[in-house]
Amino acid sequence: MKANAPLIGALILAVSSAMQCIAAPARAALRARVQQQSEADLHGTARVRDRAVPDAVVWLDAPNAPAARAGGPRAVLDQRNLAFVPHVVIVRVGSTVDFPNNDRVFHNVFSYRDGKRFDLGTYPVGTERQVVFDQPGLSRIFCNIHPGMAAYVMTVDTPYFAHADENGAFTIREAPGGSYTYHAWRPGAAELSGTWASDWGPLSLVWK
Ligand SMILES: [Cu+2]
């Protein structure tokens, strides 16, 4: 066995350099294909029967997605005129949401049911508090002082998500090509989910 060691070593060297020769073009081809498939903006619409749903949120499962960058974009859940603006926020796990009080009165923002639990207490007009949403799921946001105030923060474990606009239209930016499991949610309705592939065209979400 000992006598064969140099031979085996030479063989390993030969095989590994051959592998490198094959691997380099294969890697380049793979990189080209990934680049070709990337940066596809996926579009769709959300409706209840014929009516557009502005407060729908949509996201794609992406277990192999790149990790979130630190210091990414922050979401804002504003307090104005005795209301939270917007009514629905969707963020990636680990995101910070700012809760500025831009109203003329005190509010006491809290979440006590599912999702992230917190109580920000009352804080002066013109100041803000932050909450890190570190677990996926739906958080229901209320104000202790004004029972009519309510908002939702949907926290998702994927970088591919969108919020529908006033016409119910949404765009998921720069999703890689391929097929996905999608999820959609809006206040007061069950979650929709299904399969969607990037080359199937726009996704039409309809709550019946
Ligand atoms: Cu309030």
Tell me the two tokens of residue 75.
Answer: 């979401």
Residues 186, 108 share a domain = yes
Residues 138, 178 share a domain = yes
Q: Which residues contact 69 (CB under 8 A, 6 or more apart)?
A: none
Residues 123, 20 share a domain = no
Q: How far is the CA of 144 from the centre of ligand 1 (A)?
A: 6
pTM: 0.80
Q: Are the CB atoms for 141 and 111 separated by under 8 Å? A: yes
End-to-end CA distance of the chain: 73
Q: Are the CB atoms for 52 and 167 separated by under 8 Å? A: yes
Full domain range(s) for residue 113: 39-207
Distance of alpha carbon 147 from alpha carbon 157, whole angstroms? 30
pLDDT at 64: 85
Averaged pLDDT of the chain:
86
Mean pLDDT of 47-73: 88
Residues 24, 101 share a domain = no
Q: How far is the CA of 186 from the centre of ligand 1 (A)?
A: 23
Residues 99, 200 share a domain = yes
The total domain count for the chain is 2
Phi (first) and psi of residue 94, to 5 degrees: 95, -5
Q: How far is the CA of 107 from the centre of ligand 1 (A)?
A: 4
Distance of alpha carbon 87 from alpha carbon 64, whole angstroms? 30
Residues 45, 24 share a domain = no
Distance of alpha carbon 97 from alpha carbon 94, whole angstroms? 10
User: Is residue 171 predicted with pLDDT exceeding 70?
Assistant: yes
Q: How far is the CA of 154 from the centre of ligand 1 (A)?
A: 21
Q: Are the CB atoms for 112 and 50 separated by under 8 Å? A: no
| Residue 37 host element (H or E) | helix 5-37
Taking only the tens place, the pLDDT of each residue in 109-138 is: 999 988 999 999 999 899 999 999 999 999
Q: How far is the CA of 106 from the centre of ligand 1 (A)?
A: 6
Q: How far is the CA of 147 from the centre of ligand 1 (A)?
A: 7
Residues 139, 92 share a domain = yes
Closest CA to 152 of 118, 187, 119: 187
pLDDT at 39: 66
Residues 85, 29 share a domain = no
Side chain identity, residue 47: R
Residues 88, 16 share a domain = no
Sign of the dihedral defined by the CA atoms of residues 19, 22, 26, 28, in that order? positive
pLDDT band at 67 (very low <50, low <70, confident <90, very high): confident
3-state SS assignment for residue 3: helix
Residues 156, 93 share a domain = yes
Residues 67, 6 share a domain = no
Q: How far is the CA of 86 from the centre of ligand 1 (A)?
A: 15
Q: State the CATH number of the domain containing residue 173.
A: 2.60.40.420
Distance of alpha carbon 171 from alpha carbon 46, whole angstroms? 11
Distance of alpha carbon 191 from alpha carbon 71, whole angstroms? 30
Residues 104, 13 share a domain = no
Q: How far is the CA of 82 from the centre of ligand 1 (A)?
A: 6
